[in-house]
Amino acid sequence: MPHASERTTKYCSALVGCVAVVICAVYVTKSAAQSANVSNASPIFGVTIPPGYRDWKLIAVDELRTDKVDQLRAQLGNEIAIKALKEGKTPFPDGSIIAALHWTRVPSEENNKVLAGPFPGAQSFVVGSAVNVQFMVKDSKKYAATGGWGFADFKNGKPGDEALHKACFPCHEPAKAHDFVFARYAPTP
Amino acid sequence: MPHASERTTKYCSALVGCVAVVICAVYVTKSAAQSANVSNASPIFGVTIPPGYRDWKLIAVDELRTDKVDQLRAQLGNEIAIKALKEGKTPFPDGSIIAALHWTRVPSEENNKVLAGPFPGAQSFVVGSAVNVQFMVKDSKKYAATGGWGFADFKNGKPGDEALHKACFPCHEPAKAHDFVFARYAPTP
């Protein structure tokens, strides 16, 4: 396994935050870069937090563990994104927004107490504290250089730095066959 | 650790399905039992699958592992339940419904390939197949004997048996301080 350089490591820290959905980009239009001059918008892409995203519909959930993070995650979509996902259509239409919510993964003592008798060794993990939220915003013209997607990563309401956001699109490129979106619509039980 | 009897084990299998939200009950009103005579309704409680529940708002996500199950889970709520959770108010008002969606937890080869270079050993788990869905329906009069909640567990659209549903309320009793609901509203990142 090759050792990543410091610079690569920094960029790839963003990658970890990007697996489920994502952020960032290397090639970026001038206009998009200009609109990033707003303190509460993501660098490069100028994406701000969409109001009410916490109430969007569920796409899927996932779990990510590295030597640095241990998270439970959920991806939510606005109406345009959800419609496309349900229909299984890509590319996503302009106006689609996908939100990736990340929390720490913590053992639930309350649940484990209930499980302990009948299921010795059972482990329940629940959401701990909020870590960050990421967005992918589809605008095929504005973000033509990055697969039609603008990216954003926020922690406590504040966007990450430019280096972080530069890593978003390269990370998502392997998901090109699904319009650069890693998340799949979870089946309805 | 005491060994559970066969009967207890059967009931407690339901419990595992109940940790995040839950099903079942021991004390049940006659009228509720009667309304269970509908093939697509849960035994004892007569709860049917609420239309459109897959589009409800997200409460939280969790993970459950025992020697029998390995799942990623999400809890969704209808408008009445979500409002109560956001306001932090219990007991939940009548009309509240909470849905617990359960999927198998599977490694994501797609995600792990992206992570492999920069994060050797990183593990991404995503939703596999749908396992079951459970509902808690609040009706303080109809379900007075079971904390005001009616329970239901469905697999492929079919409700589980009476034994399974008898286990729901006893499992949820330890969560009495939160109106018998284990799930907590996940913080907004």
Looking at the predicted structure, is the pLDDT value of residue B14 above 70? no
What average pLDDT does chain B have?
A: 85
For an interface test with A, which of B56, B104, B110, B114 has the most A Cβ atoms less than 10 Å from its Cβ?
A: B114
Looking at the predicted structure, is the pLDDT value of residue A11 above 50? no
Q: What is the pTM of this model?
A: 0.83
How many residues does this entry show for chain A?
189
- Residue B159 has a CB neighbour count (10 Å cut-off) of 25
Residue B120 phi/psi, 5-degree rounding, is -55, 130
pLDDT tens digit sequence for B113-135 = 988 877 788 999 999 999 999 99
pLDDT tens digit sequence for B81-103 = 999 999 999 999 999 999 999 99
User: How far is A112 from A47, CA to CA, in rounded Å?
Assistant: 40
What pLDDT shows up at residue B11?
Answer: 45
Kindly give the interhelix angle for A6-18 and B109-116, rounded to the nearest 10 degrees: 160
What pLDDT shows up at residue A121?
Answer: 85
CA angle A101, A65, A99 (to 5 degrees): 15
What pLDDT shows up at residue A38?
Answer: 52
User: How far is B62 from B75, CA to CA, in rounded Å?
Assistant: 8
**Residue numbers in B near A126 (CB within 8 A):** 60, 62-63, 184
CB-based contact A189 B131, cutoff 8 Å: yes
A98 Cβ contact list (under 8 Å, min separation 6): A21, A59, A75, A76, A77, A81, A135, A136, A181, A183
- What residue ranges in A7-157 does DSSP mark as E strands? 57-65, 70-77, 97-107, 123-138, 149-155
CB-based contact A15 B118, cutoff 8 Å: yes
